[in-house]
Amino acid sequence: MSGHESAEDLSYGSYLRLDRLLTAQQPRSRPEHHDEMLFIVQHQTSELWLKLVLHELRTAADDMAADDLGRALKRLARVKQVQRTLIEQWSVLATLTPPEYVQFRGALGSSSGFQSYQYRAVEFVLGNKDAGMLEMFADDEQGSRLLDEALHTPSLYDRFLRLLARRGFDVPGDLLARDVTLAHTYHPGLVPVLARVYADTGTHWDLYETCEELVDIEENVQLWRFRHLKTVERTIGTRPGTGGTSGRDFLRRALDLTFFPELYAVRTAL
């Protein structure tokens, strides 16, 4: 599509760049195996949804920084709907049986979903940061730039805690001044702050709603991880994953990762 194309000449296909989008599926198996198309489309569509999730999460964090919590909540509601789509997509890939997958698995080489820089960026924006991940994308200019920006930008949770402080809540100072390039870890001093929100939901309704939206988002991430694990188990069993990952064991360990530990701890404290 030309940058000078008029609205009158704009077609559905040119607006969506379908000439590029629908020719981006290039199976590598020889002879070409029928089911490799499913594998490619599954992962390409996931990357498109992840692009939207990143778009919404980063803008929601900016909204919180601008004290526009209502707009941030609208964006988080959209993120949750996209997450549900991503979770359900695993049922499509689960139709790929072990004998079908093995026919083209060798054509994947060292490529692996572990190398998805957009997924890593989502984890960074939610607070699970790891500067070491940037080494994996040292040869990928776009991935390196995206992750470096996410690493050095306060996470969505950082933005929310700063908003709480501006609202007069006694958020521990070391949390407000922490190094945002590090992963957030559990801070017991934050639990009584959140308990105050939960103890008076009528007064602090938008803050309470935000807490619950964040819990929903974390739960959806965990459901996505679990569906990923079960799909891998039914497709390759306990074999190592492509790209040198440990496959099932790696995915099982990921289920223990958490973004907002105090939002779970506060339930015990109430």
User: The pTM is what?
Assistant: 0.93
Please say whether the structural domain 35-267 has been given the CATH code 3.40.920.10.
no
Q: Using one digit for the tens of pLDDT, what is the confidence trace for 4-17?
A: 567 778 999 999 99
Q: Is the pLDDT of residue 245 over 80?
A: no
Going from the C-alpha of 35 to that of each of 6, 18, 110, 158, 238, the distances in angstroms are 40, 22, 19, 43, 21
Is the Cβ–Cβ distance between 147 and 58 less than 8 Å?
Answer: no
| 42 labeled part of a ligand binding site | yes
C-alpha to C-alpha distance for 8 and 22, rounded to whole angstroms: 24
For residue 184, the 8-state DSSP code is: P
| 40 labeled part of a ligand binding site | yes
Q: Is the pLDDT of residue 238 over 90?
A: no
CB-count burial class (<10 Å; 0-12, 13-18, 19+) for 104 = buried
What own/partner pairs with CB < 8 Å and gap ≥ 24 does 130-135 have?
A: 130/183, 131/181
| 101 labeled part of a ligand binding site | yes
Average per-residue pLDDT for the chain:
93
Q: Using one digit for the tens of pLDDT, what is the confidence trace for 15-37?
A: 999 999 999 999 999 999 999 99
Give me the mean pLDDT over the 118-139 stretch.
Answer: 95
| 242 labeled part of a ligand binding site | yes
Of the candidates 229, 189, 195, the one whose C-alpha atom is nearest the C-alpha of residue 87 is 229
| 41 labeled part of a ligand binding site | yes
Q: What end-to-end distance do the CA atoms of the chain give, in Å?
A: 57
Is the Cβ–Cβ distance between 198 and 211 less than 8 Å?
Answer: yes
| 197 labeled part of a ligand binding site | no
Phi-psi region of 244 (alpha: psi -120 to 50; beta: other; left: phi over 0): left
C-alpha to C-alpha distance for 253 and 128, rounded to whole angstroms: 14
For residue 194, the 8-state DSSP code is: H
Of the candidates 260, 191, 187, the one whose C-alpha atom is nearest the C-alpha of residue 222 is 260
| 34 labeled part of a ligand binding site | no
Going from the C-alpha of 74 to that of each of 47, 56, 150, 209, 227, the distances in angstroms are 22, 9, 22, 11, 26
